[in-house]
Every structure is written in C-alpha cells, then in structure tokens.
Structure 1
C-alpha cells in the first residue's frame, strides 16, 4: 500500500480566526466618530447662537451644553483605532506598519490640509482684518506654534489665537502620534504595566493641575496632552481586550448582542448623569480635569458595547451616511468653529441694530444661523477632503512607497 498523503492545512487568516467579529475596519466606529464631532460642533455653534434645543416634550439642552467633552471621545477613539492593528498582531499575528510608515500616514492625512487651512485663515482673514493689531511678535508666535503643533503649550496662544480656536485638539493628537511608536513598544512588552503607567500620568497630571487650578494659567492646563494620557490609554487597552475577546469567542450569540445593547445604553445613561453633574457643579472646566479618566471609561464602555451589540442595532452607527460623515470629519472639525465665528462677525445672516441677535432672542435668526453654520461647514469639509486631504495623502503615500521600494532594491543588490 502506498503512503497516505496528508494535505497541508492552510493557515487561517486573522479575519477567519475572528469569526463573526470585525477586527479590521469596525463600522460602528465611523458613526461614533461622526456623532462625537457633530456634538462638539453643535456646542461651538450654540455658543454663538444660543439656540436652545428643546420643545414641549424634548429637552436636549444638557447635551449641547456638554458637547465640548466629546473631544475626550475623539482622543479615546484615536487610541483605539491606532492601536487596533498592533493589538491584532499581538493576538493573531498580523502585519503592522513600520515606524516611518506610521508617521508618513499620519502626516499625509493631517498636515497638508491643516497647513492650508491655517494659511488661508492667516492671509485671507487675520492679516487683512488687522486682527493682530500690529503685534507682529504674537502673530509669528501664533503661526509658528500652530505649524509645529505646539499651540496648546502656550496659554496666550491657546486663549487668544486668531488662527482657529479648535486646533489645540490637533496639537494634542499630533503630540500623541509622536510618541505612539514608543507606547506601542512598551505595550507589547508589558500591556498592564504600560496601561497603569499611562493612567498614572494622566490622572496624576490632572490631579496636580486641578489642585492648583486657581493659581495657574487655566487656559494652559485643561488642554494639556499629559491629562489625556489616561484617555488614550483606555482606548489602547479597550482595543487589546476586544481583540483578545474575539479570539476566545469567535462566534457571536444573540445573548451577547443583547448584552452589548444594554452595555451601550447603560453607558449613555452614565454619560447623561455625568453631564448633569458637570452642569450643576459650578466649575465645568475644573470638572473636566477631575473626571477625565472616569468619563473615558464610560466612553470605552459605550464603544465596546456598540461593537458587540446585535448587528441590526449596529446599523444605527454603521451605515453609508455615517461612513461618509466620518470620512470628512477631520475637515469638518477644523473648519466649523471658525466659520461660525466669522459668519456672526460678518452679520450673516443679517440682523439690524447693535445688540447681538442671540441676546435679543431672535429665534428666526438663530435657526437660520445654526443651519447655515452646519451646511457651510459641510460644504467646506467636503471640498477640503476631496480636493486637498485625499489627493495630498495619495501623493505622499505614493512617494513614500516608491522611496521604500527603491531602498529595498538597493539592499538586494548589495
């Protein structure tokens, strides 16, 4: 008898090993990002319009007044999404970017359109409108710190910038990107220890600033990158735990889907309670420092709950509309506040008299202004995404790929 031949079993891919679970592109994260940025934008537009989102039966005033704290959700999502490929590699064994590759992707996505938006604001508005009042020194400081993503490190720039007040968030993100490869290396070596260390830095710095809140520059401390370490750490840890969970489970059950729904709804209830506590604290800014870590845990609970929820429930946030909005979300975020401020400054929509229409309770103007802010921000975001961000990113990535291939070819010849 001949020898029985055994077929070599094909190695399963990470996606096959994960079964029912998404471990590459996780659709609900698009929706969560889009909603978070929408709520931050709504808050900034509300600051100018004072349009209260309430009717006889519905009152969302608590939500819009606390919209600014959704920036923490954006930071948590960054930690989750950035670390997801490395968590997948730790659990399943998968390819990840090199350190240069990681940096190139971040620069390609953010820097070209960000720089263009800063220069447009400077040369089309700030200088022609004499917003710096002849203070060339501050103008140069404002410009240089924004171009180097260090604007959040200077209290005067953070508070008095004429180049768009929301860009401190981009500075925080870029500073976290800068040290991210180091965080990945540490997390691979010791996940729990790295998480605890990052949490200690975040909670410790927030505690330090909070206890000296009235004796230091408040414009400087709330938006410090150090205080976001614990938020970013929760995003990284959530990605790792989720990836480990998918390997243990493989097949999603109805009970698990329902449990995910309960978890997500429970997180929303916790978030509501925290918003009410912040609104009644009388110290909203300091409250953010004191509760940043706890708030990010609630956000992480919501993210995991939505990911694990039933597939039909996930459709609320995982659909084409949310994917499109998430795709333009960066441009929408960096333009919305400046557009809102300038529209009001230029009396668009027009109003008569010297008193601001939001102070007179001009409901018609408030609605027209609010709708115009959102629509114009969407138009600008779409244009900047498809005419600047994506084409520029494509060129930079293509250049890097050619450079990498050339280097590999030279190494082979040696």
Structure 2
C-alpha cells in the first residue's frame, strides 16, 4: 500500500520540521493575507503528532495479518516469526547509529557520549524510561523506540480483540488503560521534570489509544465486506480523508493553545492523542480503500520514497540538525534560519537515510523475511 508508506513519510517530515524549528530558536510562524492573520506555529511545534501517526500506522499494519486470521482469510501468523521480523526491522539500524554516534562523541563536542557500562547496557536494551530504571538516550528521538517495541510484544496478546464480533471492545479497553496509566503518572511523578513526565505518560499502556485506533482501522478494513458498501467506497474515502485532516488540525491547535494547562486540564491531557489518532486512522482507512485525495497527498513518488526511508530519517535527522546548529554560518540568520536549516538539513538527512536503508535496513529485513 504505497499510500500508507507515504503517510509514514509525512509523519517523519513532521518530526523533522519540529526539530528544525527547535534548532532555529522556535520562531513564530504567521502568514498575513490582507487583514487576515493565520498562525501556523502549531503545525510545526508539536512533533509528538508525527510520533502518534507512526503509532497508528504500526497498529494498522501489524494488526492486518492477525485480523485476516481471525476473519478466516489467512493462516495464524507465527508469533516467533513475527517477533523476529520486528527485531530485524528495528534493531540493526538503531545499533549501527548507536555505534556511529559513540565513535563521533570522541571528536564532536556537541555529541553526547555514553557514561559507563550501565549506560551501555541500557542503550543496548533501549531502556529509555525515566530514571532510575532508564537512561536519557544520546539521541533524543530514541525515546519512542521502546514504546513502539512494547506494542510489538503486546500485540500477540491482543489478537483476540481483532475478531469482528469483539471489535467494539478495542477502543473502550484501550482508552481506559491509557486513562489509568496517565492518571497514575500525574500522581507518581508530580515532582518530576516535564520531560520525564511526558516520556513516562507515553509508555505503554499510555499510548495504547493511538495503537488501538490503527488496530480498529485494520479490523474494519479486513471485514469491510460485512459493512454497508457506502462505508468503504472510494467516494466516502475522500470525505474520510478530509474529515481526518480536519480532526488532526483541531487536535493540534487544541493542544497548542491549551499547553499551559496540559498537566492540570484533564480534557486535553487525556483527549488530544485519541483525537489525533482518530483523524490519522480515518486517513489510513481512506488511503487503504483507494481514496483519491489520500493517494494524491501521500501516494506520490516523493512521499512514498520518504516513507520508505522514514525510519532512518527519523533516527538521523536530530543529530544532523544538532551538528548544523553549531555551524557559525547558520547562526544569526534571523527569520531566514528555519528555511535555511530545512534546505540544508533535509537533503543531507535524506541522503544518509537512503544509504542506511539500502545498506542496513533492507538487507536485514530481507533476512528477517527469509528466516520466517
């Protein structure tokens, strides 16, 4: 499904733009057309939105074979083979970057190093939860990787929900688990830093709402023949894509203008990720059902290529932006700093990511497929 690959590329670009904005001293982005003023800052200032898109996509794509099995359309996926493929998908590119960043720390002052064997062990195991169990990763974006892998481990225990007759249970259970976990985080970590609370609140089951939206979309897609035809027609798919995009915009602007009350305002703390995930799931469902709008936005060659290399792009964009941030000629550009950072960093990041995909990701993924 090329459209879904393109959606993954969109998520990676969203996270990239967020960090480019951060390294450009987070300027206000305002467009003025006559007497009208449009504030675009929320669209680039919430990198977590891109992470949520990744999670919804994982929920959808990984649930498809299990949902097909529950519907009698496919043999049951072997859990050991499924997990082996997941390991070969995530760890090789991560370990390669871990080694490269460790070596670069010796002569790049801006590159954090690893302090002692305990930190090495935590990095090898991706223990990026708040202390004392975890450690702060030397690449800040790595904090989402163990959350993603936690879902990989949990999914085989959740497949009973992917039967059509039980599908109505997915969202209530996921939302309750998310609410209970995040509520516990607000109590247990009331005195912790905001960064530690954010990382803790996203740990599974705190992100189960986003993954479950993808699971539900996969269940409906596999069983679409049991739904009224108009619900999965290409015509409705266009409306679904528009509705999904609008809902995501509402969620993003809602969080941006309510961020001061994030840890005290229950609606925003518990509601913004489900709203964003629901919009994402609508777009995914529209794309899977052949919607023209989704194909135009995400099925074009650039987005598909970006989605293909999106994992490496996600891994490499932050170190590259960090290194460029220290280049004197890129400092002091004022309002031009963000576009210059994007124009310089994005091609460089995509080139390195393409090499990582060609030389590390794809060969190891092929081994994973052959062995399973």
Shorter-chain TM-score tier: 0.7 to 0.9
Please list every run of 5 or more consecutive structure 2 residues that lacks an aligned counterpart in the other structure: none
Per the alignment, residue 112 of structure 1 pairs with: 92
What's 2:354 paired with? 382
**Structure 2 CA distance, aligned partners of 1:70 and 1:300?**
13
Pair 1:32-2:32 in alignment? no
In the other structure, the counterpart of 2:52 is 72
Cα distance, 1:242 vs. partner? 2.0
Query: In the alignment, is the contact (CA less than 8 A) between 1:202 and 1:228 conserved in 2?
Result: yes
Match of 2:277 among 296, 300, 305: 296
Tell me if structure 1 keeps the 8 A contact 2:7–2:298. Answer: yes
Q: Which one of the candidate residues 209, 225, 240 is aligned to 1:230?
A: 209
Shift of 1:123: 1.7
Change (3 A) 1:207 1:291: farther
> What are structure 1's unaligned runs of at least 5 residues?
1-25, 402-414
Contact 2:252–2:276, Cα closer than 8 Å, also in 1: no
8 Å Cα contact 1:28/1:314 also seen in 2: yes
Question: Structure 1 residues 234 and 377 mapped into 2: Cα distance closer, same or farther (>3 Å)?
Answer: same
Contact map agreement 1:73 1:299 (CA 8 A) in 2: yes
Q: Distance in 1 between matches of 2:166 and 2:107?
A: 50
| 2:185 pairs with 1:206 | no
- Using the TM superposition, give the Cα deviation of residue 77 of structure 1 relative to its aligned residue in structure 2, in angstroms: 0.8
Q: Which moved more, 1:43-52 or 1:57-66?
A: 57-66
Alignment of 1:127-146 (within 5 A): 129=109, 136-137=115-116, 140-146=117-123
Could you list the per-position Cα deviations for residues 177-227 of structure 1 after superposition, in whole angstroms to 9, with x for gaps in the alignment? 122212224545954445533332112212332466633454142332221
Match of 2:147 among 167, 172, 191: 172
Is 2:308 aligned against 1:333?
no
Q: Is 2:190 aligned against 1:242? A: no
What are the equivalent positions in structure 2 for 1:303-382 lying under 5 Å apart?
303-308=284-289, 310-311=291-292, 314-345=295-326, 347=327, 350=329, 357=332, 362-382=334-354
Supply the RMSD in Å over aligned alpha carbons.
Answer: 3.0
Q: Tell me the secondary structure at the aligned position of residue 95 of structure 1.
A: coil
Q: TM-score, normalised by structure 2?
A: 0.84
Distance in structure 2 (CA, Å) of the matches to 1:344 and 1:156: 31
Aligned partners of 1:195 and 1:233 also within 8 Å: yes
* Cα distance between partner residues in 2 of 1:312 and 1:176: 30
Distance 1:35 1:231 in 2: 17
Q: Distance in 1 between matches of 2:70 and 2:118?
A: 43
- 1:395-414 superposed matches below 5 A: 395-398=367-370, 400=371
The match for 1:14 is: none
Larger Rg belongs to = 1
Asked whether the 8 Å contact 1:206–1:227 carries over to 2, the reply is yes
Q: What does 1:90-101 align with in structure 2 at a 5 Å threshold?
A: 90-101=70-81
- Partners of 2:341 and 2:355 in 1: CA distance: 21
Pick closer, same or farther for the CA change 1:211–1:264 going to 2, 3 Å.
farther
